[in-house]
Chain A
Amino acid sequence: MKFDTIIIGGGLSGLVCGIECARSGRRTAIVSAGQSALHFWSGSFEFLGSQGGKRIIEKPLYHAGSLDPSHPYRKIGIDRTAALLDRTVPLLAEAGIKAHGSLERNHYRMTPLGFTKPAWLTLDDYLAFGNLSDLEGKKAAVINIYSYIDFYPRFLEAGLRKLGAECTSADVNVPQLDILRQSTTEMRATNMSRFLRDDAVDALAREVEKASAGADMVVMPAVLGIFSDEPVARLRRGVSRPIYFVATTPASVPGVRCQLSLRDLFIRLGGQFMPGDTVTRGDFQGNRLRKIYTVNFGDIPLEADNFVISTGSFFGHGLIADLEKIYEPVFGLDIEAAPNRDDWYDKDFYAPQPYMGYGVVTDTHFRPRRHGETVDNLYATGALLSGFNALHEGSGAGITLATAFHAADQITKE
């Protein structure tokens, strides 16, 4: 079976690259084994949150200039990176997702544990503020759903108080959710979001309105709107105070929404999405990748002019660590990783962990190497790459998206 472009991995990076390739009219396929890291999404994308010993930086684009030259942003070029990332908000909007923010200046989001973190883009409905002083003197009502255990109002309140807000807290319930309590394990955000529709939302709005009397704002766990904006809009209409959500995991409601919306946009643009299939190997001819093979297709090869590998880091199985070595399992691409297992991690749990910086080595066009030779028609994007520690520097989505747009541009402008 022949395509123009085949992308391996359907997480944030593979989807965005696929959308751009399909949009240009290329016959594009995404092969993806299982769901991606987007399912743990906080509702905020990060570009650069801390750098050079500064725990929180305000002007990320400015600081990006002094990153190591091997960092993906520097390899693309800072101006070019910014231009590529400016395409994110319109692309998300096309998929039906509304977000805001700026590369010039970070804003802040709050984690479910009450920590303040810098962010580049945040979903419109989610708790975010431009300055640390913005919440001073505000009265916030932190409202949880009765018996929901993946949300910790006390931590969140402590975080809000630290920023000078006054807090009240309350649990609310609507009868439409009682059904979920029959299995104690099933009181999950994504499950609730299936039942919080139509009149259940009106009932919730009445409860929230009552429980937040006297407050300036409501803060709630993200438990509705998994398939559309309608339940959130409906809740807003029924509550007289602004409502802000905080995403909870496991399986985050905005994350599932984002994954499915991007996948649907890719399919609308003519892309072929093949879920639940694993690419196992490739056929190379000289420095070109000719064909790939998957578990489901057996000996039927998938051919393309260009390939993109966006299989993620350890979490996505783009990298595998066994007791002896770290490797890239599909093609055996060259990676940057310490040979000795003892050097992979730091015993101080909170220190930047070396293994998080490991990944596939590429040239300036993000073409990976195999046995020391660059593969001419293969691009690597996203968390699979080396040269950064996304968790430590707060740069996960920025790198994921910039390299995805960059690869797509090289393929479509060939």
Chain B
Amino acid sequence: MNLQEQNISDNNFESCIKCTICTVYCPVTAVNPDYPGPKQAGPDGERYRLKRPYFYDEALKYCLNCKRCEVACPNDVKIGDIIQAARIKYASHGPSLRDTMLANTDFMGQFATRLAPVVNFSLGLKPVKYLMDKVLRIDDHRTFPKYSGTRFESWFRKKAEAAQESFTKHVSYFHGCYVNYNYPQLGKDLVTVMNALGYGVRLLDREKCCGVAKIANRCIDEATRDGENNLRAIREAVGRGDEVLATSSTCCFTMRDEYPHLLHLDNHDVRDHIMLATLFIYRLLDEGKARIAFRKDYRKKIAYHTPCHMEKLGWTIFSTSLLQMIPGVDFIKLDSHCCGIAGTYGFKKENYAYSQGIGAPLFDQIRASGCDFVACDCETCKWQIEMSAGVPVLNPISVLADAIDIEETRRLNGVS
């Protein structure tokens, strides 16, 4: 028996050598002195918590769950997981009304899409913002993402679904709450691009939110239920031979890694089939399984921002390589730096100033770059960057949809 191997937890916290490297790369440590930092909040604190839950420190709520500490750790300690698991296990009081509201992106979305004009209008109103700030402690400086009048799912069923089965090859699409309720255009762009490449798009059966906001706000039972449902739907899709594509790096990361690490949902049979659309498309092109033609008149200066969960997934190169394939693109890769929003984190009043402080170097670099727009695979980064740097943000899939010569690409891939 190998004692050394038997002695290591799943989160690997015994492997910590106390080198403090994680702390150097934590975006919160850099701005918020109340936060104990990843080493102390993670493996160091864990030793105490295992002895007595009394040692749990409420300041762990400041962790963004960006996982930059894990990317830096030389010893593969799952620092972010340790911290999130401790919040789930030890935090003394349950989520507040505000946290529950922010967490339930799908419930809020269903409600808001029906009343989109009213909701968008009132969320922009000063008195409403004031009330939200004072009563719910949602910071009044925040601009809310707009709710769309028509859900992506409704559009898909009405306008796109019928045509999809005429394709011989298919992918399934995990659109996520954001595409469904706030920005259906991204979903439409995905359908356009995949169809041009010769793939029909299918939706998952009764998709639910990936759960990232519920996990962050400790609504764990709901997150687990949604996760089980999504895994059921993903298994069904994989069973019919589809890969499951996402356009959000965070949804993708959550279903691949947070499901097993934080919700203890076993996804090993389907994990490798959950991927970002840009990875799937890059691979098709790289392996010569599809071809792409670009418009001759596309000219844009694009700055790419690496979302934290994209950095953790390690897939940045697929998105940036696709963008760099476009002939008329002047490409800039921004320094990999957290934008500060971290999903619902930056909406909370107690986090707003830190959130903006964390992102400041990124916003400066974007403004100085002179780019036409920022490309980025995460929707919450989009809200933050658009609000704070004043530059539009597009998902690489939307960039592709705009830059490809659709007719020619369809012809190259034998799509009639």
Contacts and interface: CB of A to CB of B under 8 A. Distances in A.
Interface of A: 1, 33-36, 39-40, 179-180, 182-183, 185-186, 188, 190-191, 194, 250-251, 256, 267, 272, 274-278, 294-300, 315-317, 322-323
Contacts of B4: 322-323
B333 A35 contact: no
A95 to B, nearest CB: 15
A315 B15 CA distance: 12
B29 A191 contact: yes
A316 B21 CA distance: 13
A277 B19 contact: no
17 contacts: A1-B317, A1-B321, A34-B73, A34-B76, A35-B74, A39-B74, A183-B37, A185-B40, A186-B33, A186-B40, A191-B29, A194-B30, A276-B314, A300-B279, A316-B74, A322-B2, A323-B3
Interface in B1-58: 2-5, 18-21, 23-25, 29-30, 33-37, 39-40, 44
Interface in B327-357: 333, 336
B320 to A, nearest CB: 9
Interface residues on B, range: 35 or more
A186 B35 CA distance: 9
B139 interface: no
A342 to B, nearest CB: 17
Given A183-B34, A296-B314, 9 more contacts: A1-B321, A186-B36, A250-B19, A250-B21, A275-B314, A276-B72, A277-B314, A295-B314, A296-B315
A388 B36 CA distance: 40
B70 interface: yes
Q: Which 5 A-B pairs have the closest CB atoms?
A: A296-B314, A276-B71, A34-B74, A250-B20, A179-B33
Contact of B312 (A183, A250, A256, A276): A276
Nearest to B57: A183
A179 B31 CA distance: 10
A185 B313 contact: no
Contact of A300 (B19, B24, B37, B283): B283
Given A34-B73, A39-B21, A183-B34, A267 B333 contact: yes
B83 to A, nearest CB: 14
A95 B40 CA distance: 32
Interface of B: 2-5, 18-21, 23-25, 29-30, 33-37, 39-40, 44, 70-76, 272, 279, 282-283, 286, 311-317, 321, 333, 336
Contacts of B36: 183, 185-186
Contacts of B314: 274-277, 294-297
A276 B25 CA distance: 12
A277 B76 CA distance: 10
A132 B33 CA distance: 42
Contacts of A33: 74, 76
Contacts of B39: 185
B19 A39 contact: yes
Interface residues of chain A: helix, strand, loop or mixed (majority): loop
Nearest to A250: B20
Chain B contact residues: helix, strand, loop or mixed: helix
A226 B145 CA distance: 36
B2 A182 contact: no
B40 A251 contact: no
A274 B19 CA distance: 22
A382 to B, nearest CB: 15
A394 B173 CA distance: 57
A375 B279 CA distance: 31
A304 to B, nearest CB: 14
A401 B336 CA distance: 27
Nearest to A34: B74
Most chain-A CB neighbours within 10 Å: which of B4, B24, B40, B272? Answer: B24
Contacts of A188: 20, 23
A45 B107 CA distance: 59
Contacts of A297: 314
Contacts of B30: 194
A35 to B, nearest CB: 5
B292 to A, nearest CB: 16
B2 A323 contact: yes
A183 B35 contact: yes
Nearest to B320: A272
A190 B283 contact: no
A101 to B, nearest CB: 27
Contacts of A36: 74
B317 A186 contact: no
B354 to A, nearest CB: 13
A322 B1 CA distance: 12
A275 B70 CA distance: 10
Nearest to B34: A182
A39 B29 CA distance: 18
A109 to B, nearest CB: 22
A166 B121 CA distance: 72
A202 B3 CA distance: 54
Given A186-B33, A188-B23, A256-B24, A34 B313 contact: no
Nearest to B26: A191
Contact of A34 (B75, B283, B312, B316): B75
B2 to A, nearest CB: 6
B298 to A, nearest CB: 23
A302 B32 CA distance: 39
Contacts of B35: 183
Contacts of B312: 276
A35 B68 CA distance: 11
Contacts of B286: 1
A140 to B, nearest CB: 28
B311 A275 contact: yes
Nearest to B272: A298
A296 B271 CA distance: 12
A250 to B, nearest CB: 4
A219 B65 CA distance: 39
B34 A274 contact: no
Which residue, A40, A179, A185, has most C-beta atoms of chain B within 10 A?
Answer: A185
A386 to B, nearest CB: 22
